[in-house]
Structure 1
């Protein structure tokens, strides 16, 4: 087994117990040299409930040094505490620098609005705010030469993407998913009682993913301007529609389709159209691996956003600099980041 000094880097995967998360870990383990030379830190909300991840790790090669870490993305304090502990471990040499930070965890609720103990709408906090805090804090522990940040996106972030009409028209009559950070953060937008059934939750999810893509863009720009961090590359991935537990808060009909029919049909669909609407978690995990270790980094200051293996332009709102800056500033206030909390020079 490679010692900590011999290991090339650390891989962090959030939401590692979910469908895509456990598939990403499976892919890492299947790459024997990668698994042997990198430490794996796999985060979950509750380790006791991480049965899918534990099953995968039971088959890990003996050479793969790994840990299951508890981190609640619905808690600012939990994210801050976890990031601080990881920074101390990297600084002490207990862990090698972070080679790949894979921000996979996600939350979706189509039936109701849930507020976090921090006072923010849970979909927005998990899918955007927690990622902003985690990334900014962990930059000091990233491999400044080869580090890569991969964020899982979604076609739902783009109000003009025709895939949003699969099974309905949740954006019909809407021309924006960004009413302002405060409206999204405080759950004042697309409320369940505003009509539209599951459409209301889908819109909130799409808006949170828009915020995540905005974060990717803004982070890429700011890293590109930092002489010490400009070699850290930022990637986004639209993984398509997959069978995963994120649909557990959807209606019965959608659960039957996602959990019952899709596992049977998706492999056939991937064979016919690898980057099509419906994909297997295995295929999307391979796409994550590709972005982490195979794709040439984008030019400094730029984001590379992929739909499977195809490069895809992000939505018009995600490319709106004024909206991005508004969201970034609001997020900083929400997480109460201080100067010593990040090594990014132009973080404000």
Structure 2
């Protein structure tokens, strides 16, 4: 049966490998990739090789207006019959900065804007266009545990604060440092889990929401905003850790991501999928009060963009 899967973060790393698996294993899938500028057209052409059905929509995930425009285009194409029924949204794109001072065009700290608000806006603008059974997947990270077992001392654990503080620059001590940027990252991944718990409560029956943790995957583009030494280590040195139990290769992590998207991994709505199976996330990640507060804040932060979206057509 033909269906549409919308995916961010498909241009490389685990997302690129997952996209290839999805297309190979689900012949009826129309994969719609969301990417910045002209890179989307190139990516769609590469993934379409071999007769797969792939299209693209352009978006800068750091801009809520750009996300709104992309989601509106997807809605219009679904409503006009240009896309088959929507069955999945995969929010795999993520970013990490070398400070906690980078501000996006909407006035939000950029890590929070890309890793949290962009996904939330996509979910809210597309939720009434899903055809059940459908799945929303947001990529999380085991950095949200904040302990050496999961972070190996490389990324500080999350430092939760009220969402109105987290959404702005300088939310963390020594905001100009790499440590603050990494704290913003781990905290944003904790926020992702909180929002998925709320989606599981609030979305209609038949639309599941899960988070996926690929584990430590060296060699991805996550360090693209880091300094030259860190980028070199991520590309050339740390990939050797994939040969140990402490890390995953891009190939394994990408296959696991595709498994979750395609439903091959059993994961009830609200689940945290750790690599290849549903597991329990950190104790801190189960906090209904924080989940409601973050939902309310994300609704406020994105309200101007959800109000301007076209209403659902009469059926």
Mark yes or no: TM-score above 0.5: yes
Matched, 1:190 2:172: yes
- Would the alpha carbon gap of residues 88 and 177 (structure 1) be closer, same or farther in structure 2, given more than 3 Å must change? same
Aligned residues: 308
Matched, 1:278 2:225: no
Matched, 1:207 2:196: no
Matched, 1:162 2:149: yes
Any gaps of 5 or more consecutive residues in structure 2?
Answer: none
Residue number in structure 1 paired with 2:235: 259
> What SS is found at the alignment partner of 1:296?
coil
Residue number in structure 2 paired with 1:57: 47
Residue number in structure 2 paired with 1:226: none
Query: Displacement, 1:8?
Result: 2.1
> What SS is found at the alignment partner of 1:143?
strand
Matched, 1:309 2:276: yes
Matched, 1:216 2:199: no
Any gaps of 5 or more consecutive residues in structure 1?
Answer: 1-6, 224-228, 344-348
What's the TM-score, normalizing by structure 2? 0.89
Residue 159 of structure 2 contacts residue 187 of structure 2 at CA under 8 Å; is this kept in 1? yes
Residue 26 of structure 1 contacts residue 56 of structure 1 at CA under 8 Å; is this kept in 2? no
| Cα distance in 2 between the residues matched to 1:324 and 1:265 | 34
- Would the alpha carbon gap of residues 184 and 330 (structure 1) be closer, same or farther in structure 2, given more than 3 Å must change? same
> What SS is found at the alignment partner of 2:31?
strand
- Would the alpha carbon gap of residues 330 and 295 (structure 1) be closer, same or farther in structure 2, given more than 3 Å must change? same
| Cα distance in 2 between the residues matched to 1:288 and 1:26 | 11
The alignment yields a C-alpha RMSD, in angstroms, of: 2.4
Q: List per-residue Cα deviations over 1:265-311 (Å, max 9, x = no partner).
A: 42x23xxx4xxx3111211111112112213351xxx4111111132
Residue number in structure 1 paired with 2:33: 42
Which one of the candidate residues 289, 305, 316 is aligned to 2:258? 289
Residue 25 of structure 1 contacts residue 56 of structure 1 at CA under 8 Å; is this kept in 2? no
Query: Displacement, 1:135?
Result: 0.4
| Cα distance in 2 between the residues matched to 1:184 and 1:167 | 21
| Cα distance in 2 between the residues matched to 1:8 and 1:109 | 38
Query: Displacement, 1:88?
Result: 1.8
Query: Displacement, 1:78?
Result: 1.0
Residue number in structure 1 paired with 2:76: 88
Residue number in structure 2 paired with 1:318: 285
- Would the alpha carbon gap of residues 341 and 192 (structure 1) be closer, same or farther in structure 2, given more than 3 Å must change? farther
Residue 140 of structure 1 contacts residue 342 of structure 1 at CA under 8 Å; is this kept in 2? no
Q: List per-residue Cα deviations over 1:37-68 (Å, max 9, x = no partner).
A: 111101111224876x368426x222x22112
Higher deviation after alignment, 236-245 or 14-23: 14-23
Which one of the candidate residues 54, 57, 64 is aligned to 1:69? 57
> What SS is found at the alignment partner of 2:283?
coil
| Cα distance in 2 between the residues matched to 1:221 and 1:101 | 17
- Would the alpha carbon gap of residues 342 and 136 (structure 1) be closer, same or farther in structure 2, given more than 3 Å must change? farther
Bigger Cα Rg: 1
| Cα distance in 1 between the residues matched to 2:288 and 2:171 | 22
Query: Displacement, 1:341?
Result: 6.7
